[in-house]
Amino acid sequence: AQSVAQPEDQVNVAEGNPLTVKCTYSVSGNPYLFWYVQYPNRGLQFLLKYITGDNLVKGSYGFEAEFNKSQTSFHLKKPSALVSDSALYFCAVRDGRGGATNKLIFGTGTLLAVQP
Amino acid sequence: KAGVTQTPRYLIKTRGQQVTLSCSPISGHRSVSWYQQTPGQGLQFLFEYFSETQRNKGNFPGRFSGRQFSNSRSEMNVSTLELGDSALYLCASSSQALSYEQYFGPGTRLTVT
């Protein structure tokens, strides 16, 4: 079955320090992976995607993600955290079973708290 | 371009009632998906529509139904509401049948009392 796992419910980091939010995946076939961010009382905002190509993917707001096939991971990173990055982050995989679909399977989410 | 809009933004209903939520995708987008977000179950897929056809349905009871109109606007309906239906309902649109980017609306917060 297609799935993603986010092993950390919460990540705490000081402003200015690098941050990593972890995600591992389990898929049959090629993985199409995504990161979304959700601010309080808001919908999800797309950050970045991995479809194919370079293992380091750059996205919005200075975020990037590293795809690692051998470790089946897709960790979200940022070199220098901002207080405004504090939000709920979701890793997702597109469910490729059953043909053409835009259906996403989401992880449980990781709350990122950046302290000033 | 205007983003995905969802109406209403907030809704309070009583157990046993039914509710209809609306989603207007980004202009030109023909694919609409719905998700339910709860603290306990996280984000769960409800339905997916493309050009008025339901392509996919999640593991929800038959009380949950949806449709898409010729202008790509979509509605979802929940009948005989239960307390457990209280959730944030999110709609996402994308331009193609198989797209790598989906754009989410702000959601409709449904509270069932």
pLDDT tens-place string over residues B42-89: 999 999 999 999 988 999 999 999 999 999 999 999 999 999 999 999
Q: Looking at the complex, does the CB of residue A101 fall below 8 Å from at least one CB of chain B?
A: yes
Q: Looking at the complex, does the CB of residue B100 fall below 8 Å from at least one CB of chain A?
A: yes
Q: What is the pLDDT of residue A48?
A: 94
Q: What is the pLDDT of residue A108?
A: 96
Residue A106 near residue A3, CB atoms below 8 Å:
no
Residues in chain A closer than 8 A to B98 (CB atoms): 100-102
Phi, psi of A61 (to 5 degrees): 60, 25
Residue B97's pLDDT band, with cuts at 50, 70 and 90, is: low
First vs last Cα of chain A: how many Å apart? 40
What lies within 8 Å, CB to CB, of A21 at 6+ separation is: A6, A8, A11, A75, A76, A77, A89, A91, A110, A112
Distance from CA of A38 to the nearest CA of B (A): 10
Sheet strands (E) in A1-116: 3-5, 10-14, 19-21, 24-26, 33-38, 44-50, 56-58, 64-68, 73-78, 87-94, 104-106, 110-115
If you average pLDDT over residues B4-23, what whole number do you get? 97
Q: What is the pLDDT of residue A95?
A: 80
Q: Looking at the complex, does the CB of residue A1 fall below 8 Å from at least one CB of chain B?
A: no
Nearest Cα residue in chain A from B5: A43
Instruction: Transcribe B75-97 into DSSP letters.
Output: EEEE-S--GGG-EEEEEEEESSS
Q: Looking at the complex, does the CB of residue B59 fall below 8 Å from at least one CB of chain A?
A: no
Q: What is the pLDDT of residue B112?
A: 98
Q: Looking at the complex, does the CB of residue A39 fall below 8 Å from at least one CB of chain B?
A: no
Q: What is the pLDDT of residue B38?
A: 95
Residue B11: enclosing H or E segment and its boundaries?
A: strand B10-13
Yes or no, beta carbons of B48 and A101 under 8 Å apart? yes
Yes or no, beta carbons of A102 and B31 under 8 Å apart? yes
Per-residue pLDDT of A37-77, as tens digits, reads: 999 878 899 999 998 888 999 999 999 999 999 999 999 99
Query: How far, in Å, CA of A9 to CA of A79, rounded?
Result: 21
Phi, psi of A60 (to 5 degrees): -75, 155
User: Average pLDDT, whole number, for chain A?
Assistant: 93
Residue B15: enclosing H or E segment and its boundaries?
A: none
Per-residue pLDDT of A21-41, as tens digits, reads: 999 999 888 889 999 999 987
Residues in chain B closer than 8 A to A98 (CB atoms): 56
Yes or no, beta carbons of B101 and A32 under 8 Å apart? no
Token code pair at residue B11: 């809704």
